[in-house]
Structure 1
């Protein structure tokens, strides 16, 4: 699951408290700061990441050393915290992860050694209970500027629980290399991004993307916008079986072919319907035809008045779909994914009206090009040529629960015929 750490170090001071409050309210995974006191005020629901040049053990000793310098006694329980290394002191101070920079193999080896020492098994100086003692894990930060630092980041991604990487150049090729090198790594890769647009790109690199991002917001609004980006997933749809009532040749009209920037699977297509309350799963051109090559990016979708379902439960008319639009690719099992439209082709063709009904009696209608090569999907992903459909045939479709106004769901009375 992708996540974000909010970097407070360069947030404008007048906006700092609002950004902190937004990060907590929006349930950001982590907050990064060089101010341990500030991190200590955050709730444990947030991963508190302290940027420090010092090892965990040195930080853990500081409170005790400070009291000793003043000639005072260690507070009650301090001995236990000290004996457990960084675990007790840093955790009590509200620190969950230490973030330290590395730029050489020796520095990386030192960070890896700290992490190996973070869990001390019974008999190695832990509490009398004999339970393992876990110190705050140490994350590494590396600035990738050339091949040497790129290779170092790949090694770090395999060795550390978190590897935070800043890429000096705008190309995403170095990120692809790190992702490939760390495919089997148990640790998490966190990529520094400059804005929300870059964050969206980073999450899509090599289809899997970076595990997390490190982002410096300028205001609380940026935090909430990032939260919306992180929540942007496509739903699993519950498809319904539709029964064909009638097929009618309706004459010449304009139909739309939707050419996407993605390769459809054989059981995928897009949902299209004449009414906003119901859609038929129109098949992509991934299946061979005797007279033309396959177009695995295309769906011959239907007449230009038709609705099609997109992300965020929003519909568009096919007449509105064009280059850069986003639609839902839908599989016969109801799985969905976001696809981007490369172009839409509007051409005049003979049209065919297909009228179906759902089990609850709801009417679902689809108007498509009147030609054998246009296909829809039936239960189990069965491919059906529209001109060969007969009364009683079963198609796959989706029944919407809401009416629509400018593509948005709305609970109002609306009858479509």
Structure 2
């Protein structure tokens, strides 16, 4: 059954560097055990590269390969400790799969913080119970983008996503109703929106995320206020059907 909206074939999609953003961490908290997927790839990752993985299609976080030294294990440059089984991962044809679906031979998209891309192929997937952490953050959206969405999608877009898309005045932080947005037509720089994003990772030293300066940092060292890299999907293409992005309403939270 096809969803409402127009499907877009994954093969025609492309990586857009300007959608790779630093997002601000708001909260990190333990959420119990889950089935973690660890991916061993056919080739070593290039320096600085990792996989785009996340809880939501709208935000895929850059999980770095295991090249950081620590006191527990040696470097494993062909491995990414990706996250729990239900997370999305970006494939080489720009569709997504659940981590649970991956098998040897699947080609995944890899990227670094500067936007350099490549493809790496799964050799083995390991699923094991491990303690998990929830990482919540926000991505700031400029006023000009808000008005572009308002004109192209209408007020229903903001009403549908109001639980994850928080309109406010940029300087004061005062919340703004979608009904009042039009008042800022001639002063678009005075408004912004915070988009809720999150992912889940294993609570382990071997899970580095990529910071805004391009350096990997173990999740054990991350804290609220830090900024880590994530791929923020086009707002018009936040929905997916069998891994393919399409234009249509789909609220993930």
Question: Considering the TM-score relative to the shorter chain, is it more than 0.5?
Answer: yes
CA distance in 2, matches of 1:295, 1:232: 33
* Partner secondary structure for residue 290 of structure 1: coil
Residue 397 of structure 1 corresponds to: 230
1:367 alignment counterpart: 200
> 1:314–1:373: structure 2 CA closer, same or farther, 3 Å change rule?
same
Residue of structure 2 aligned with 1:388, choices 217, 221, 226: 221
Distance 1:287 1:370 in 2: 15
CA distance in 2, matches of 1:289, 1:348: 21
Structure 1: gaps of 5 or more residues: 1-230
Deviations along 1:13-58, one digit per CA (max 9) or x if unpaired, are: xxxxxxxxxxxxxxxxxxxxxxxxxxxxxxxxxxxxxxxxxxxxxx
Matched pairs, number: 187
CA–CA separation in structure 2 for the residues paired with 1:363 and 1:284: 25
**1:332 aligned onto 2:165:** no
Whose strand fraction is larger, Structure 1's or Structure 2's?
2
Bigger Cα Rg: 1
Gaps of 5+ in 2: 1-10, 142-193
Alignment-derived partner of residue 212 in structure 2: 379
Please provide the CA RMSD for this pair: 1.7
**SS at 2:213's partner residue?**
helix
SS in 2 for 1:319: helix
Match of 1:242 among 16, 20, 23: 23
Matched residues in 1 for 2:128 and 2:206: separation? Answer: 16
Q: Report the Cα offset of residue 359 of structure 1.
A: 1.4
Deviation at 1:266, TM superposition (A): 2.7
Contact 1:241 1:359 in 2 (8 A): no
What aligned pairs does 1:250-265 form with structure 2 within 5 A after superposition?
Answer: 250-265=31-46
Counterparts of 1:410 and 1:232, CA distance in 2: 12
2:58 is matched with which residue? Answer: 277
Q: 1:413 aligns with which of 229, 249, 252?
A: 249
Residues 205-261 of structure 1 show CA distances to partners (whole Å, capped at 9, x for unaligned) of: xxxxxxxxxxxxxxxxxxxxxxxxxx9997453310100010110001111011111
Contact 1:257–1:300, Cα closer than 8 Å, also in 2: yes
* Structure that is richer in helix per residue: 1
Residue of 268, 282, 286 corresponding to 2:67: 286
- Partner of 2:93, secondary structure, is helix
**Counterparts in 2 of 1:16-31, with a 5 A limit?**
none
**Please, what TM-score do these two structures have when normalized by structure 2?**
0.70
Which deviations, in whole Å up to 9, do the C-alpha atoms of 1:106-132 show, x marking residues without a partner?
A: xxxxxxxxxxxxxxxxxxxxxxxxxxx
| 1:297 matched to 2:130 | no
* Higher RCO structure, 1 or 2 (CA under 8 Å, sep 6+): 2
1:289 deviation in Å?
Answer: 2.0
